Structure 1
Amino acid sequence: MTFQITVQPSGRTFTAQPDEAILAAGIRQGIGLPYGCKDGACGSCKCKKLEGSVVHGPHQSKALSADEEAAGFVLTCCATATSDVVLESRQVTEAGAFPIKKMPVRVTALAKASPDVMVLTLQLPASDTFQYHAGQYVEFLLRDGARRSYSMATAPHRQAEAPTMELHIRHMPGGKFTDHVFGGMKEKEILRIEGPYGSFYLREDSDKPIVLLASGTGFAPIKALIEHLRFKNIQRPVRLYWGGRRPADLYQSDWVEAQCADMPQLRYVPVVSDALPEDGWTGRTGFVHRAVLEDCPDLSGHQVYACGAPIVVESAQRDYLAAGLPADEFYADAFTSEQDKLG
């Protein structure tokens, strides 16, 4: 027996097995529901259930509270259907979303961008094409079956130059994957990836001004978005707010400044929260998401793309909606670590 899942207002439908998470069923059938961590930790996949019944697997209350569940909200990443279900989600991609593939990749370069950030360049198979939206991510398939997710920092048009992708990896001491990246990983090593995943990408059917918000390595998918904006010659006004604790955390500021020189519509606002006297920092300070509101107290006419630590994304969503941003104009990718998933 299978259940029919209908997504409004698009009208897209797909089927789900009784023991299959709704999100997994949608991905399997090319239905682009919004999601982030896929582990019940970030809340990116939360949407309203209009009809039907579901059962939730383990999840964190910050992703879906008991009150929200009682009000009819579901986390599609850990909800299984017990009847036909109708959901409301405005972030459903068009038919024919890019296929999810598994493929081997070869490490071609490892470059430290800061003491705890590695820029990893991967070569893709020349015989295959890997299609994705700027802002999406891939998952590394580790030997023990574990997975680790990282956003692509390069826009898809770069594949025409060479089948490579760039990832920005922050060292999490004790981390199964990042300890290897910062320790034993060598050029020419073969890894396995799967993707593309994620609903974080530019909505090009709008002419609204864009706010890009990044914390730490949340800059990676934002970099891909900027490359895409430049490639497509999109002239919408764009403000990038990139926050870190120390100036070194803004590890590709020079690259951003170079883009600003060629993109008059792009404005860059770096923000540092914990600068020390020896840093000589003279720029903006404080919480990066608050800097946006200092400059744009009314966000009702904007689109926001936010990426980085879950606390930054959650704070931005709460405060920006209070500043008039329509709920369906906030697009986010919370970088949920394995520690975050443990709650």
Structure 2
Amino acid sequence: MLNIIITIAVISGIATILAIILSLADVYIADYGEKKIIINKDKELVVDGGNSLLSSLISNDIFIPSACGGKGSCGYCKCTINSGGGPVLATELSYLTEDDIANNVRLSCQVKVKEDMDITIPEELFNVKQYKAVVEIAKDLTPKIKYLRLRITDGQQISFKAGQYIQLLAPPYPGNQEEVYRAYSVASSTKNNNFVDLIIGYVEGGILTTYVHKHLSQGDEVSFNGPYGDFYLDEESDREMVMVAVGTGMAPIRSILYEMLDKGINRKATYFFGARCKEDLFMLEEMEMLQNNLLDFMYIPSLSRPLETDNWEGDVGRVTDAIAEYLSEGENKEAYLCGSAPMIESTIKALKAKGIPEDRIYYDKFD
């Protein structure tokens, strides 16, 4: 048994040493020189070869979503590489669909810049910026949900659409040895371009949620970048609006509601919000204020597991039950959803059963 353990340890040690040697060789021995990156047939960058495409873009203030910090474990940093990307790597395959591969979509964090490249990225990413801020407000909304206001301190202003998100940076802290970005929807109105509000739930073992709930305090300095996302209010539409969220899914819906209030958007809107018990409800005073100030808005909370001590007299069940009871049938509606994948899937079914076409159901799905 001892010989087996020793053999395994020796093999593991050799493999580790070889991996380190290969990494060092790639960085220090392979000299790729300067390379050109042509973006959208318009913008040209000259970068040092050998780095990842993601890091090369970030060093030139072009930010692509990447929640894992470039480790190839989130699949967010996709872009189209028209030429110069080399073969698709095994580390990318689990995040690329057949259509992605056929259309030269790659993970920018896994592609090294070893030759001149021609790439395509969404134009809106040129508006993404890095911001420094201070935590102006940090307060508990529920035992597991925290509200943050991040006041920008570097002289910049942020422009975003109601419903979009930013990426907040968690620096190294006890128990976490590296920087990590995670995506969070902006919860504030677009008229406020000097700060962003976030609503962040605690997840056991979550690197950034642990940072926010256990280590971050009012007055602390933070960094974030954004905005990102194609989930946002369609201001050109005049259809009736249906909003559905659970837990921290409140964030983008709150932003949309304040957008409607600030811009005088007078569309009929119903907001179905789901929680487990009464202590999981929050911002009730704000919802009441919005009901009183928006022309035709109704907020309908429902509890899936109310406690006896809650003395709850409202709706009991999931948000889909409330939709079935209160939402009238008809096609002239559009829906905005935010929540977990199972919640999104069940809600889409409930809305389609009410006659809302799937192409008018917009959602922000989180893990």
Whether TM-score is above 0.5 comes out as: yes
Matched, 1:127 2:155: yes
Structure 1 59/280 Cα, relative in aligned 2: closer, same or farther at 3 Å? farther
Preserved contact between residue 187 and residue 251 of structure 2 (Cα < 8 Å): yes
Matched, 1:154 2:182: no
Preserved contact between residue 36 and residue 198 of structure 1 (Cα < 8 Å): no
Q: Tell me how far apart the structure 2 counterparts of residues 235 and 297 of structure 1 sit (CA, whole Å).
A: 19
Letter in structure 2 aligned against 1:205: E
**1:193-232 Cα distance to aligned partner (Å, 9 max, x none):** 1100111110111110000111001001100100000111
Preserved contact between residue 153 and residue 223 of structure 1 (Cα < 8 Å): yes
SS of the residue 1:130 aligns to: coil
> What is aligned with 1:109?
137
> What is aligned with 1:262?
293
Aligned residues: 291
What are structure 1's unaligned runs of at least 5 residues?
A: 6-12, 46-53, 81-91, 337-343
> What is aligned with 2:229?
198
Preserved contact between residue 243 and residue 270 of structure 2 (Cα < 8 Å): yes
Matches within 5 A, 1:1-343: 57-59=92-94, 99-125=127-153, 127-143=155-171, 144-159=178-193, 163-296=194-327, 298-336=329-367
Q: Tell me how far apart the structure 2 counterparts of residues 181 and 30 of structure 1 sit (CA, whole Å).
A: 23
What is the percentage of aligned positions where both structures have the same residue? 25
**1:213-269 Cα distance to aligned partner (Å, 9 max, x none):** 110010011001000001111111010111111122221122101111111311110
Q: Tell me how far apart the structure 2 counterparts of residues 112 and 297 of structure 1 sit (CA, whole Å).
A: 36
Report the alpha carbon displacement of residue 118 of structure 1 after superposing the two structures with TM: 0.9
Preserved contact between residue 305 and residue 330 of structure 1 (Cα < 8 Å): yes
Q: Tell me how far apart the structure 2 counterparts of residues 185 and 111 of structure 1 sit (CA, whole Å).
A: 11
Preserved contact between residue 170 and residue 211 of structure 2 (Cα < 8 Å): no
Greater radius of gyration (CA): 2
Report the alpha carbon displacement of residue 326 of structure 1 after superposing the two structures with TM: 1.9
Q: Which has the higher contact order (CA 8 A, sep 6+)?
A: 1
Structure 1 270/140 Cα, relative in aligned 2: closer, same or farther at 3 Å? same
Preserved contact between residue 213 and residue 306 of structure 1 (Cα < 8 Å): yes
Higher helix proportion: 2
Report the alpha carbon displacement of residue 156 of structure 1 after superposing the two structures with TM: 1.3
**1:105-148 Cα distance to aligned partner (Å, 9 max, x none):** 11112111111111111111352111111111111133324211
Structure 1 36/228 Cα, relative in aligned 2: closer, same or farther at 3 Å? farther
Q: Tell me how far apart the structure 1 counterparts of residues 180 and 304 of structure 2 sit (CA, whole Å).
A: 33
Structure 1 302/195 Cα, relative in aligned 2: closer, same or farther at 3 Å? same
Letter in structure 1 aligned against 2:200: I
Q: Tell me how far apart the structure 2 counterparts of residues 73 and 232 of structure 1 sit (CA, whole Å).
A: 43
Report the alpha carbon displacement of residue 55 of structure 1 after superposing the two structures with TM: 7.1
Preserved contact between residue 287 and residue 299 of structure 2 (Cα < 8 Å): yes
Preserved contact between residue 180 and residue 207 of structure 2 (Cα < 8 Å): no
User: Which is worse superposed, 270-279 or 291-300?
Assistant: 291-300
**1:304-333 Cα distance to aligned partner (Å, 9 max, x none):** 000012211122123323443222211111
Report the alpha carbon displacement of residue 277 of structure 1 after superposing the two structures with TM: 1.0
Structure 1 30/122 Cα, relative in aligned 2: closer, same or farther at 3 Å? closer
